[in-house]
């Protein structure tokens, strides 16, 4: 798929499809009015007959409009004009993309950025349309023996602007969204791959492949013996029941001077979570192949910023292993010593994410990071609290939380700020070690974050619990690519801020 911005009026486009919007009540957008005039009121007549109401997310595909050189014209209903919300807009362009890619159009000109929703601008519309195009065309078919029929054909998408030239904001939005789209595809593909293929070694290979494509990315992989030397007793306690070798993958992106402190992204990379000896129930256990979506989002984000060429330094750290039951697996009650020196009583081997993250977070300090963000499918409790809409956000610094929330709002990949108060910490007290790895049923997502907070006191840190947002269950089962948009936008904003003179 290719994207560009194209100045020019809609009635002149010799294109496979010209896409214009209509509002509820039948009012035509500016581009639709131009087409209507050029086609002797063809659009107005169709609307008068009641074939297009302009209702939100409705579409009408037309062929051979009089005096219009475009092969097709696609009308998209945006809903009520004076209260157009971002959500309404996203639903509408989602519907438009589905129809567009069901046609044989090889290229299309979209006039969908001229009526932005409240509080958004044309550049935002372009970003979201690019992501909607990626979403509509995504297929995970690499493991099917026969190719799907009616697979969307590749299409050159142009964003039409009726008058004037594209501005820098629009061009930047297009480039950034394309990179985010590519990053999300990598994140989805890795998430959807099953546990027998997407092993820790596979993730390490993917990281190495990324560094081959992008000279700005350097990769190193720590093996089990390296982790032993570093004293990562907590991480190693999770992998010890598995036959797959664990990996600690480190990706260093250099986009600025060496002296600039990096932002570190730490992603949970459990390639399959059976629960270990605290075995999970069988129903839907297959979904625990998604327990490496934090890791996949770190890889997708680093690929995106390398593609953008962001002027800052970022380190990706991915602790990766399987959580399996076996004769050598960790038992409930076992006590281990983490790299930080703190001891942990493992009361439930299914609370393994925090056990691998705590050592990775201690290791992160070695890079003297300005900020550390971990991303993890950490708790079922977070899904109960926030559903599948928002990721859970925790931070030991309020401005960092605000920056992440804002990036989520900007990209419609939202997070919700959760409390990290000391009041919850006693739930982790242990009779036999410095702490235990579970805090009881109450506030399960919060106590998991509180556990991590005990390892991140020396730097500015945030934690994203993506258990509810990283994949979809049921009929549409599949990875979502979240929170790559949030993370990339956060880093883009971060790079701009540290370069501005203020």
Q: Which stretch binds Mn ion (CB under 5 A): 142-150, 199-207, 351-359, 370-378?
A: 351-359
Three-state secondary structure call for residue 50: coil
268 is in an annotated binding site: yes
Determine the distance from the C-alpha atom of residue 7 to the mean position of all C-alpha atoms in its chain, rounded to a whole number: 31
Q: Is 322 in the site for Mn ion (CB under 5 A)?
A: no
Shorter beta-carbon distance to Mn ion: residue 221 or 277:
277
**Which C-beta is closer to Mn ion: that of 355 or that of 404?**
355
* Residue 379 near which of Mn ion, ligand BES, Zn ion, none (CB within 5-8 Å, type-dependent): ligand BES
Residue 253 CA, distance from chain mean position: 19
144 to 183: interface string for ligand BES, x by CB under 6 A = ----------------------------------------
Could you say which of ligand BES, Zn ion, Mn ion, none residue 444 binds, taking C-beta under 5 to 8 angstroms by partner kind? ligand BES
Per CB under 5 A, 374 contacts Zn ion: no
Can you tell me which of 273, 307, 359, 413 binds Mn ion, judged by CB under 5 A? 273
Among 273, 307, 322, 403, which residue sits at the site for ligand BES (rule: CB under 6 A)? 273
CA dist 228 to 153, 209, 349, 362, 499, Å? 50, 26, 20, 14, 40
Mark whether 49 is an active-site residue: no
Output the smallest distance, CB 101 to Zn ion, in A. Answer: 35
Please select the residue that binds ligand BES; options are 189, 350, 359, 374, rule is CB under 6 A.
350
Task: Report the residue from 54, 70, 262, 353 that binds Zn ion according to the rule CB under 5 A.
Answer: 353
Told to check if 273 binds Zn ion by CB under 5 A, we report yes
Asked if the peptide bond before residue 240 counts as cis, ω within 30 degrees of 0, the response is: no
How crowded is residue 361: how many other Cβ atoms within 10 Å of its Cβ? 28
Q: Which stretch binds Zn ion (CB under 5 A): 210-218, 291-299, 442-450, 482-490?
A: 291-299
CA distance linking residue 235 with residue 353, whole number of Å: 9
Stretch near ligand BES under the rule CB under 6 A, chosen from 162-170, 294-302, 344-352, 386-394: 344-352
For 60-91, b/e burial (b = at least 16 CB within 10 A) is: bbbeebeebebbbbbbbbbbeeeebebebbbb
In the bound state with ligand BES, the residue whose beta carbon lies nearer, of 271 and 301, is 271
Q: How far apart are CA 418 and CA 235, in angstroms?
A: 26
Residue 377 near residue 356, CB atoms below 8 Å: no
Q: Which does 322 bind (CB under 5 to 8 A by kind): ligand BES, Mn ion, Zn ion, none?
A: none
Sign of the dihedral through C-alpha 253, 234, 271, 225: positive
For ligand BES, the closer of residues 92 and 377 by Cβ is 377
Buried b (16+ CB within 10 A) or exposed e, 160-169: bbeeeebeee
**x/- letters, 136..175, toward Zn ion (CB under 5 A):** ----------------------------------------
Closest residue to Mn ion, based on beta-carbon distance = 350
What single string gives the DSSP state of each residue in 373-441?
A: EEEE---HHHHHHHTTT-EEEEESSHHHHHHHHHHHHHHT--EEE----GGGGGGG--SSSSEES---S
Question: Does residue 377 belong to the site contacting ligand BES (CB under 6 A)?
Answer: yes
DSSP state letter for 260: S
Cβ-Cβ contacts under 8 Å for 357 (sequence gap 6 or more): 266, 268, 319, 374, 376, 378, 452, 455
Provide the 10 A C-beta neighbour count for residue 236. Answer: 21
By the rule CB under 5 A, 252 interacts with Mn ion: no
Instruction: Work out which of 10, 70, 181, 444 binds ligand BES, going by CB under 6 A.
Output: 444
Question: Of the residues 188, 289, 354, 414, which is catalytic?
Answer: 354
> What is each CA distance from 180 to 133, 278, 293, 300, in whole angstroms?
12, 37, 16, 8
In angstroms, the CA 170 to CA 414 distance is 22
Find out whether 429 is annotated in a ligand binding site: no
What is the DSSP track for 9-32? -GGG--SSEEEEEEETTSPBPHHH
Assess whether 477 carries a catalytic annotation: no
242 binds ligand BES (CB under 6 A): no
Choice between 297 and 379, CB closer to ligand BES: 379
The reply, when asked if residue 226 is annotated as ligand binding, is: no
Among 314, 467, 479, 488, binds ligand BES (CB under 6 A): 467
291 is in an annotated binding site: yes
Of 12, 80, 280, 460, which residue is the catalytic one?
Answer: 280
Binding of residue 350 to Mn ion (CB under 5 A): yes
Q: For ligand BES, which residue has the nearest CB?
A: 380
How many chain residues touch ligand BES (CB under 6 A)?
A: 16
- Residues 392, 462: Cα–Cα separation, whole Å: 10
- Smallest distance from ligand BES to CB 359, Å: 16
Q: How many residues does the chain have?
A: 502
307 binds Zn ion (CB under 5 A): no
Contact between 427 and ligand BES by CB under 6 A: the answer reads: no
Closest residue by Cα to residue 211 from 221, 224, 201, 222: 221
Of 4-12, 47-55, 373-381, 482-490, which segment contacts ligand BES by CB under 6 A?
373-381
- Phi-psi label, residue 218: left if phi above 0, alpha if psi -120 to 50, beta otherwise: beta
Query: Residue 28: what are its φ and ψ, rounded to 5°?
Result: -90, 145
Instruction: Write out the binding residues for Mn(2+).
Output: 268, 273, 291, 350, 352
Instruction: Give the binding site for ligand BES (CB under 6 A).
Output: 273, 291, 348, 350-353, 377-381, 383, 438, 444, 467
Show which residues are catalytic. Answer: 280, 354
Q: Per the annotation, where are the binding residues?
A: 268, 273, 291, 350, 352
């Amino acid at each position: 798929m290719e994207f560009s911005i194209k100045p020019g009026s809609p009635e002149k486009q010799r294109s496979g499809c010209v896409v214009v919007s209509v509002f509820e009540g039948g009012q035509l957008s500016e581009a639709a009015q131009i087409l209507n005039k050029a086609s002797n009121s063809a659009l107005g007549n169709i609307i008068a007959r009641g074939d297009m109401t302009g209702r939100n997310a409705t579409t009408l595909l037309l062929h051979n409009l009089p005096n219009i050189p475009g092969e097709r014209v696609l009308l998209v209903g945006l809903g009520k004009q004076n209260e157009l919300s971002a959500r309404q807009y996203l639903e509408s362009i989602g519907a438009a993309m589905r129809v567009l890619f069901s046609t044989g159009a090889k290229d299309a000109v979209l006039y969908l950025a001229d009526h932005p929703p409240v509080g958004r601008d044309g550049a935002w519309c372009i970003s979201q349309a690019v992501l909607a195009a990626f979403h509509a065309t995504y297929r995970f078919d690499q493991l099917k023996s026969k190719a799907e029929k009616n697979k969307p054909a590749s299409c050159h998408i142009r964003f039409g602007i009726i008058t004037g030239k594209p501005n820098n904001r629009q061009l930047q939005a297009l480039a950034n969204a394309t990179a985010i789209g590519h990053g999300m595809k990598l994140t989805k593909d890795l998430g959807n791959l099953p546990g027998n293929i997407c092993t820790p070694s596979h993730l390490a290979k993917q990281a190495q492949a990324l560094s081959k494509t992008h000279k700005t990315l350097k990769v190193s992989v720590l093996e089990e013996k390296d982790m032993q030397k570093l004293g990562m007793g907590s991480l190693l306690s999770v992998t010890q029941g598995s036959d797959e070798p664990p990996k600690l993958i480190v990706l260093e992106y250099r986009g600025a001077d060496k002296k600039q402190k990096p932002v570190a992204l730490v992603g949970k990379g459990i390639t399959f979570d059976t629960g270990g000896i605290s075995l999970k129930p069988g129903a839907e256990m297959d979904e625990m192949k998604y327990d490496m979506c934090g890791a996949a989002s770190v890889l997708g984000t680093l690929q995106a910023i390398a593609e953008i060429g962001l002027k800052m330094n970022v380190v990706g750290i991915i602790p990766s292993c399987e959580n399996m039951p076996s004769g050598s697996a960790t038992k409930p009650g076992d006590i281990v010593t983490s790299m930080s020196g703190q001891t942990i009583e493992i009361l439930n081997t299914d609370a393994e994410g925090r056990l691998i993250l705590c050592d990775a977070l201690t290791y992160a300090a070695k890079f003297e990071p300005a900020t550390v963000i971990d991303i993890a499918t950490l708790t079922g409790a977070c899904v109960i609290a926030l559903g599948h809409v928002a990721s859970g956000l925790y931070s030991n610094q309020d401005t960092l939380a605000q920056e992440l929330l804002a990036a989520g709002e900007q990209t419609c990949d939202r997070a919700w700020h959760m409390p990290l108060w000391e009041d919850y910490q006693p739930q982790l007290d242990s009779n036999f070690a410095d702490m235990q790895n579970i805090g009881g049923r109450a506030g399960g997502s919060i106590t998991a974050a509180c556990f991590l907070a005990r390892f991140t006191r020396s730097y500015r840190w945030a934690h994203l619990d993506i258990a509810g947002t990283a994949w979809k269950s049921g009929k549409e089962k599949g990875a979502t690519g979240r929170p790559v948009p949030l993370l990339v936008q956060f880093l883009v904003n971060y790079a701009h801020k540290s370069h501005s003179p203020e």
